Amino acid sequence: MITEKQIEEIKGFLQKSENPLFFFDDDADGLCSFLLLKKYIDRGKGVVIKSAPFLDASFLRKIEEYSPDVVFVLDKPNISEDFISGVHVPLVWIDHHSPVDVKGVKYFNPRVRDHNVYLPTSYICYQVVKQNLWIAMCGAVGDWLIPDFMDEFMAAYPGLVEKTDNPGDILFKQPLGELIKMMSFILKGKTSDVNTCISILSKIESPYELLNKTTSRAKFMYKKFDNINKEYKGLLDSAVKSASDDNLLVFYYPSKQMSFTGDLSNELSYLFPDKLVIVGRRKNDEFRLSLRSKKHKLPKIIEKALEGVEGYGGGHEYACGGNIKAKDIDKFVANLRRQLE
């Protein structure tokens, strides 16, 4: 947990800031964390960190561009040392991945005190701002948590979710799931569209405005989302069709398409809970992989499957990523399969 004192400390940085800059991860949790903080003070700039696990020195040009008086980093597992040493204003980092020991930042991570606690970054940000519950709900469920404010959300926003203890039910079957998907998918578009959508979202007051498309700005966002979602659905359909009675579901797609690797593996794993799901996007001579299993602890079997294979992989118990050279991909999959028998 984050302590009351830490919450006050984060709040202090927000309130004192005149021109804050927010870097955030390119998924629903990252975006919702930013929206919660930005709406609370109604100022500041947001920069989405796309497809980079690290916030590195290349992002210092954003600091030059905006000259912020405080920098917030939200939902990123790592920040490079040269980024930290290049920032000369307070650097506030709020995250919930594996804690790191790092100097020169104000670090807030509930897992420092309790390594096993699971509280997405948007949950922590909601503890600070205590407003815009619907955004906190989107971020938490987007990161696969049914938060303890679920009942409060259901009472305040009827018709969007039904009671369940499986976040997948909300994500893939209930109305709020569409909104969460939208928050993640709009970040995949062209940079100019991404920025327009983020600025629309920071003005929208209610989830119903978006879901019911009651305004032209909501219609604009929906159109952007629909285009990206069509591409996603095409891939999901092919992946579902490729499923057999094999206890492995392997699906590859080319890099000329947008990156949906994590989204696809999540939904496929929900649809086929008994299967180990591997989704790979081929880029030149390698595959970027996302692996999911509800039955097998992945890091151990991945480590074993990497023997004699050029590549790397790892992550959480039931959700991992990897990068494997194309020449070895069949061997890697065969090595995984052998361990399931």
CA proximity to 128, closest of 3, 300, 287: 3
Give the range of 13-21, 82-90, 137-145, 225-233 binding Mn ion by CB under 5 A.
137-145
Is residue 143 close enough to count as binding Mn ion by CB under 5 A?
yes
Give the range of 1-9, 29-37, 150-158, 321-329 binding Mn ion by CB under 5 A.
29-37
CA dist 224 and 183 (Å) reads: 11
258, two tokens: 């947008």
Cα distance between the two ends of the chain: 40
CA dist 136 and 116 (Å) reads: 21
Instruction: Give the number of other Cβ atoms within 10 Å of residue 255's Cβ.
Output: 13
Closer of 75 and 193 to Mn ion (Cβ)? 75
Interacting residue with Mn ion among 10, 14, 29, 36 (CB under 5 A): 29
Closer of 32 and 176 to Mn ion (Cβ)? 32
Is residue 75 close enough to count as binding Mn ion by CB under 5 A?
yes
CA dist 132 and 109 (Å) reads: 22
CA dist 190 and 192 (Å) reads: 6
Is residue 26 close enough to count as binding Mn ion by CB under 5 A?
no
Scanning the structure block, which residue is given the tokens 């983020």?
A: 198
Q: Decide if 77 contacts 95 (C-beta within 8 A).
A: yes
Over the window 287 to 316, marking each residue x when it contacts Mn ion by CB under 5 A and - when it does not, the resulting string is ------------------------------
CB of 182 to Mn ion, least distance (A): 17
CB of 33 to Mn ion, least distance (A): 8
Q: For Mn ion, which residue has the nearest CB?
A: 29
303, two tokens: 């480590």
CA dist 20 and 13 (Å) reads: 9
Site residue total, Mn ion (CB under 5 A): 5
User: In the sheet that 286-292 helps form, which strands lie side by side, from edge to edge?
Assistant: 248-254, 276-283, 286-292, 319-325, 311-315
3-state class (DSSP) for residue 262: helix
CB of 32 to Mn ion, least distance (A): 9
Closer of 53 and 159 to Mn ion (Cβ)? 53
Give the range of 24-32, 34-42, 76-84, 123-131 binding Mn ion by CB under 5 A.
24-32
Give the range of 28-36, 111-119, 166-174, 314-322 binding Mn ion by CB under 5 A.
28-36
CB of 29 to Mn ion, least distance (A): 3
Closer of 94 and 329 to Mn ion (Cβ)? 94
Over the window 99 to 128, marking each residue x when it contacts Mn ion by CB under 5 A and - when it does not, the resulting string is ---------------------xx-------
Pairing of the two strands 248-254 and 54-55:
unpaired
Which residues make up the interface to Mn ion (CB under 5 A)?
A: 29, 75, 120-121, 143
